[in-house]
Chains A and B, each alone.
Chain A
Amino acid sequence: MNTAKRIMVIDDDASILEAVEILLQLEGYEVYTSMNGTQALQKIPEVQPQIILLDVLLSGEDGRDIARKLKLDETTKTIPIIMFSANPNIEKSTQEAGACAFLSKPFNVEDLIGLTNQYVH
């Protein structure tokens, strides 16, 4: 296992995914992306990221369900999850699903970087 800071980003919008990827790469992260929650569930145990960024509204899937599954799996339950959504009113429900932090879209780059760095030592 290499020592790079690994991050998994899950969002169904390609443009957001690309922007976040570039940003985090510049911050020194090894970025893995997925546009699909179920696919990400398979990849995560393999990649073993130090942190997961997860969108709530994924095409046909609810990010909160993905978070719950991750929290139930022994191999992934300790990985911190930061969730984001365009709906600022659902922060509480993401916490209940197991997210450690919430960002409402659109967010400031500083906030995203600050939060991820806070959870990755």
Chain B
Amino acid sequence: MNIPAANPLVSNSAYRFRKKLASRTAGFHIPINWNTRAYTYSPWFKFGITLISVNIATLLTLYLRPMVDLNVMYLLYFGAIMFAAWFGGFRFGILSTSLSSIIAAYLFSTNAPLASSHFIIRFLIFLIEGGLVSLFIQTMHDAVKNYSIKNIELVRSEQRYRLVVETVTDYAIYTTDINGYITSWNTGAVNLHMYTSGEILGRHYSLLYPPEETAVGKPWKVLQEAARSNTFSTEGFQTTKSGKQFWASVVITPIFDEIGTTYGFSVIVRDLSERMEQEKRKDDFISIASHELKTPITSLKIFTQLLLRLTTQLPDKSSIKYLHKMDLQLDRLNHLVNDLLDVSHIQTGEINLNLEKVDMNELIHDTVDNVQEVYKEYDFVVKGAVKNPVYGDRDRLYQVLLNFLTNAIKYSPKSRKIVISLSQDGTRAIVAIQDFGIGIPINYKDKIFERFFRASHTENKFPGFGMGLFISSEIIKSHNGSVWVDTEPGKGSTFYFALPVKTS
């Protein structure tokens, strides 16, 4: 569901946003410039401020002297020191202190000799106090400066992120408060959910879920889950303003304040309906293609077997052999088509199981016997037994066993031995199929059960679509079982599968 950029709804809101942003940015530019200039005074300016402030203090002191006690006079110089320290820092504060004390000593100490202890003590106290005041003012000045720089950076970074988020059109990105009420809404959200920010801000985000999910409280459960596990991603239906539903991926992340308390959530929604549509079309295609392929195979097989019947009645039997080969190749072709069909059914979750009690001991012996018929040169060793039956689809389990056995044969061109072990571990029946073939490189170990995976080291020396292990593992999983492999390159592999047993 993509709305063209020309949609008046979208472009209007984007325009309004840009305008709002521009006016805000303009408002912030004045203090930014003022501040940056203020913190980079030239040394001459600092020096000038120091001199002027000391002079003003001196003039004031001279003017006020007849009215006020002399000791109070010194206080006026602290004003000058503060000025110098604010604009020039600690060093200029000390300079101001020194100048003030020299001038004060020269102007106001006529009644006491300059070298008297009384004067020196007063002078030292003034010097220390001046230094402390300078230090204090400088620290205060730095703190104010840092605070405003941080503030500016914060505002700028917020503006940057806002702009980035706002200009994303393919993803809905919005925030909610702790209870799920929407606090921000980007252009992508307008595109996806069709609500303008004016319509949605302040409303509960459950509005974007299908009514039946809201009825069972899913939007609230999702928020709880996100708050608990720090992020929560899921796929499901979301709705638009008109009530139209679309399949989407939803990622919800809690937002924390500076002491780590959750105060809201960020929500990112991506429309997956197109991808879903493509997947479905592909699966439908495979399904139809397999069906179409089977029709000619069916008539070819009937004609081949018809020829076989007729040939057996003829005195010359030489062509029977070739007709048998033809028939076997048709079976092989049919298996490949079935695999394709299985993959498409697995993808769409249409794998049907006809569940019944299955004796694994019996099934394995039957399968091994059948495989032995075809691969007479191989040595199959069956070990162990399972006590209880499993509950499963006999044909599907046969398919899995056949697949593991033919795989073991296929990937052990130099060895002739294959060991099949049966065991029971509590409530699980475990089957292991061990070959002594080429093995699997460690880095492929986890991938071999994926769809269409073929280990590249085999360099197409082995035929097949790479679907067998995927199908087998999916069949086992649909039986609530598990599949795994132990392998060593050059030494061989052991494929395991475990199925829950039926004890009652």
Residues of A within 8 A of B (CB): 13, 15-16, 18-20, 22-23, 26, 57, 86-89, 92, 105-110
Residues of the B chain whose Cβ atoms lie less than 8 Å from the Cβ of A110:
305
Q: Verify B302–A23 contact, CB threshold 8 A.
A: yes
Q: Please give the number of chain B residues whose Cβ is less than 8 angstroms from any Cβ of chain A in the complex.
A: 23
Q: A86-B290, A92-B354 are in contact. Are A15 and B306 (CB under 8 A)?
A: no
Bound complex: CA A105 to CA B296 (Å): 10
Residues of B within 8 A of A (CB): 290-291, 294-303, 305-306, 309, 330, 334, 338, 341, 345, 350, 352, 354
Q: Verify A106–B301 contact, CB threshold 8 A.
A: yes
Bound complex: CA A19 to CA B309 (Å): 13
User: Between A and B, how many residue pairs show CB distances below 8 Å?
Assistant: 57
Tell me the nearest residue of chain B to A112, going by C-beta: B302
Residues of the B chain whose Cβ atoms lie less than 8 Å from the Cβ of A92:
352, 354
Q: In the assembled complex, how far is the CB of residue B61 from the closest CB belonging to chain A, in whole angstroms? A: 105
Residues of the A chain whose Cβ atoms lie less than 8 Å from the Cβ of B350:
89
Q: Verify B352–A89 contact, CB threshold 8 A.
A: yes
Q: Verify A109–B302 contact, CB threshold 8 A.
A: yes
Q: In the assembled complex, how far is the CB of residue B334 from the closest CB belonging to chain A, in whole angstroms? A: 6
Name the residue in A23, A26, A109 with the highest tally of chain B Cβ atoms < 10 Å from its Cβ.
A109
Bound complex: CA A89 to CA B341 (Å): 10
Bound complex: CA A108 to CA B306 (Å): 10
List 19 A–B pairs whose Cβ atoms lie within 8 Å, in order of A's numbering.
Answer: A13-B299, A15-B295, A16-B295, A16-B298, A16-B299, A19-B302, A23-B302, A86-B290, A86-B298, A88-B338, A105-B298, A106-B300, A106-B301, A106-B302, A106-B330, A106-B334, A109-B301, A109-B302, A109-B309
Q: In the assembled complex, how far is the CB of residue B292 from the closest CB belonging to chain A, in whole angstroms? A: 9
Q: In the assembled complex, how far is the CB of residue A86 from the closest CB belonging to chain B, in whole angstroms? A: 4
Q: Verify B345–A105 contact, CB threshold 8 A.
A: no
Bound complex: CA A88 to CA B298 (Å): 13
Q: Verify A22–B306 contact, CB threshold 8 A.
A: yes
Q: Verify A19–B299 contact, CB threshold 8 A.
A: yes
Q: In the assembled complex, how far is the CB of residue A54 from the closest CB belonging to chain B, in whole angstroms? A: 14
Q: Verify A109–B294 contact, CB threshold 8 A.
A: no
Bound complex: CA A92 to CA B309 (Å): 32
Contact partner of B294 (CB less than 8 A), chosen from A20, A23, A89, A106, is: A106
Besides the known contacts A18-B299, A89-B352, A105-B297, 7 further A-B residue pairs in the complex with CB atoms under 8 A apart: A16-B298, A19-B302, A19-B306, A86-B291, A106-B300, A106-B330, A110-B305
Residues of the A chain whose Cβ atoms lie less than 8 Å from the Cβ of B302:
16, 19-20, 23, 106, 109
Contact partner of A86 (CB less than 8 A), chosen from B294, B305, B330, B354, is: B294
Residues of the B chain whose Cβ atoms lie less than 8 Å from the Cβ of A16:
295, 298-299, 302
Bound complex: CA A18 to CA B294 (Å): 16
